[in-house]
Amino acid sequence: MAKETLSPNDCRDMLIAVANKIIESEPILTDADRALGDGDHGIGMERGMNAVKEKLEGTDFETADKPFMAMGMAMMSSMGGASGAVFGTLFRTGGKAVGGVDTFGPEQLAAFFTSGTEGVQTRGGAKPGDKTMVDALVPAAEKAEEVKGSSLIDAITAVAAAAEAGKDASKAMIATMGRAKTLGERSIGHPDAGAVSVAIIVATMRDFVAS
Min dist CB 80 to ligand ADP, Å, is 8
| C-beta separation of 90 from 68 below 8 A | no
Question: According to CB under 5 A, which one of 40, 65, 107, 130 is a site residue for Mg ion?
Answer: 40
Residue 191 binds ligand ADP (CB under 6 A): no
| Crossing angle (nearest 10°) for helices 81-98 and 65-79 | 170
- What three-state secondary structure class fits 14? helix
Residue 192 binds ligand ADP (CB under 6 A): yes
Name the phi and psi angles at 5, rounded to 5.
Answer: -145, 170
- What is the C-alpha separation between 91 and 113, in angstroms, rounded? 9
Residue 33 binds ligand ADP (CB under 6 A): yes
Q: Report which of 153, 163, 137 is spatially closest to residue 209, judged by C-alpha positions.
A: 153
Name the phi and psi angles at 115, rounded to 5.
Answer: -70, -40
- DSSP labels for 87-140? HHHHHHHHHHHH-S-S-B-HHHHHHHHHHHHHHHHHHH---TTSSSTHHHHHHH
Question: According to CB under 5 A, which one of 8, 32, 33, 105 is a site residue for Mg ion?
Answer: 33
Q: How does DSSP classify residue 205?
A: H
Question: According to CB under 6 A, which one of 11, 82, 152, 156 is a site residue for ligand ADP?
Answer: 82
Min dist CB 38 to Mg ion, Å, is 4
Min dist CB 1 to Mg ion, Å, is 40
Question: According to CB under 6 A, which one of 124, 139, 166, 191 is a site residue for ligand ADP?
Answer: 124
Length of the chain measured in residues: 211
CB-nearer residue toward ligand ADP: 34 or 53: 34
Residue 67 binds ligand ADP (CB under 6 A): no
Using CB under 6 A as the binding rule, the residues of this chain from 88 to 117 that contact ligand ADP are: none
171 interface partner picked from Mg ion, ligand ADP, none, CB below 5 to 8 A per type: none
Residue 134 binds ligand ADP (CB under 6 A): yes
Q: Which residues bind ligand ADP (CB under 6 A)?
A: 33, 37-38, 40-41, 44, 81-83, 86, 120, 124-126, 132-134, 177-179, 192-195
